[in-house]
Structure 1
């Protein structure tokens, strides 16, 4: 099936807006974290991620736009076995979901920690070093912002990995229309428990609606491999090696696209 559009849309997700109520935003990131780990959506990239972490001799990961924890409750176990108990995963977000991140951190035996303050992926503190990752969030940024994120990784000498599950194919966009069903199905299993989540899912179904709308917008804003390649081609500074590919994803008919950049050996 053909793409809905040959160009990215410039729409903005509801949860990205400052006026979005925190109770809605946290509920949406809770659902995304739960579903991502329940379906193991990013497990197929673990060998690739481990390879590049080893290549860059990274001692920690700095995850940007972590929301409620992303796929790390599943991925960290493999990372911990491969790199030891001292390896750290630091979760950051512009709108951190504190309750969810605290649960993820507590369950990881110290492997996962999070920053409580709001951090913008386009401007990280200079002391926050490590291999940077963005799971299902790169499409939230405009071309200018996306280039700034990649350029900042190059300027700081940190490796970076971008992993996306959405695309602009019509079938992917149409699939998002089924999102409310999965929200209704999975809500009783989501932790931390919140009465507000039940009310806003079943009685006043704002959460299913926002998940569906933001899912559609995310698809329409997704970068293609060609567009990612163009972003990396325009970067300045120290030479970097860029790998941009597709992988199959468990329980998904849609491919996982990744972009990984690492400093070129001197």
Structure 2
């Protein structure tokens, strides 16, 4: 159970965000975060968090998912974007082959199927683009080389002032493709003034966006995050065998598990709830004509971990939200 904490979002600091935190340690921590996006713990997790994000996008957008190019604005060292791209395009391939796509029926968590009938001439898949204000080119090049649908923008991209030609900068500009922005485990990092500017830019210059957080401001999330420490202690020797630096700073001096757990708890306390995001949207001053919003949460770990999402989609002819 979520058991929400009766406190406002707290603007506390995370160690990994600090300029004084050594770059090698940051790389180890980001490697751990990336691993947990892809990992599915036996019994405790029905699917990996990245698969859950992909499934949510498929459910909310439906067939129109192929109308969009998805741009992750805080990709870091790659994060979940390559895994989300894989999951979405696996489903796209099944659809284009006339097969069935596994989706969720609303918020029930029950699996259902949507019959595919070909890709309708929509092209060779759904494109994803990695961006960040501090590009991680070696990791992005390596990831993008594994998929024709995964791209990156090599220059810094500020989510509050994104270039209008962002898709062409990534080499993904296609006729009739819409820009859909992703903020995966990132939006809680932005203080309110910056978050408001990012939302204004997003609502003004895109056709959709999704905020995904793997934690909430609740006891279930904190309990799940605390469980990461013993999990890392037990499993790192197997998961990261050969990465001797990471293993040293996990077992000899446990910097990596400490920072992951500490920052995870702080992330929970910083995470905004649906109404708080909507309030920032109303305050940002952008036109809301045509926009509709969907929110929800999905269990990613049975110990109390939930993925919270806030998705906005711009639809022609829709009345302004009051």
TM-score by structure 2 length?
0.72
Instruction: Render the CA deviation track for 1:18-76: whole Å, top value 9, x for unaligned.
Output: 22222111211111111111121142343441353854764421112122323333322
Show the counterpart of 1:220: 269
Q: 1:120 is matched with which residue?
A: 158
Aligned residue in 1 for 2:245: 196
Which of 232, 236, 250 aligns to 1:183? It is: 232
> Which residue in 2 is equivalent to 1:262?
313
Note the residue ranges of structure 2 that are not aligned, 5 or more in a row. Answer: 41-47, 93-121, 168-178, 318-322
- For 2:17 and 2:279, locate their aligned partners in 1 and report how far apart those are by CA, in whole Å: 25
Q: If each structure's helix is expressed as a fraction of its own residues, which one has the higher value?
A: 1
Where does residue 31 of structure 2 map in the other structure?
A: 30
Once residues 223 and 301 of structure 2 are traced to their aligned partners in structure 1, the CA distance between those partners, rounded to angstroms, is 17
- Between the two proteins, the alignment pairs up a number of residues equal to 265
The alignment status of 1:146 with 2:154, answered yes or no, reads: no
Query: How big is the shift at 1:191?
Result: 6.7
1:245 paired to 2:295: yes
CA RMSD of aligned residues (A): 2.7
Query: 2:44 corresponds to which residue?
Result: none
Residues 191 and 27 from structure 1, CA distance in 2 versus in 1: closer, same or farther, beyond 3 angstroms?
A: same
Q: 1:19 to 1:120 in 2, by over 3 A?
A: farther
Larger mean Cα displacement after TM superposition, 211-220 or 187-196: 187-196
Look up the match of 1:173: 222
* Unmatched 5+ stretches in structure 1: none
Per the TM alignment, residue 188 of structure 1 is displaced from its structure 2 partner at its CA by: 4.0
Task: Measure the CA separation in 2 of the matches of 1:70 and 1:84.
Answer: 26
Per chain length, whose mean CA-contact separation is higher, i.e. which structure has more relative contact order (CA < 8 Å, sep 6+)? 1
- The aligned runs of 1:26-105 (5 Å cut-off) are 26-39=27-40, 40-50=48-58, 51-52=60-61, 54-55=63-64, 58-81=67-90, 82=92, 84-85=123-124, 87-105=126-144
1:159-193 residue CA offsets vs partner (Å, 9 max, x unmatched): 11111111111232233222222333443455796
Normalised by the size of structure 1, how large is the TM-score? 0.86
Contact 2:181 2:206 in 1 (8 A): no
User: What SS does structure 2 have at the residue aligned with 1:248?
Assistant: strand
Where does residue 15 of structure 2 map in the other structure?
14
Q: Which has the larger radius of gyration?
A: 2
Residue 145 of structure 2 corresponds to: 106
Post-superposition shift, 1:213?
1.0
Q: 8 Å contact 1:8–1:222 — kept in the other structure? A: yes
Cα distance in structure 1, aligned partners of 2:152 and 2:144:
7
Q: Alignment partner of 1:85: what SS?
A: coil
- Whole-angstrom CA distance in 1 between matches of 2:306 and 2:193: 25
Bigger Cα displacement from structure 2, 183-192 vs 206-215: 183-192
Compared CA separation, residues 78 and 36, structure 1 to 2 (3 A): closer
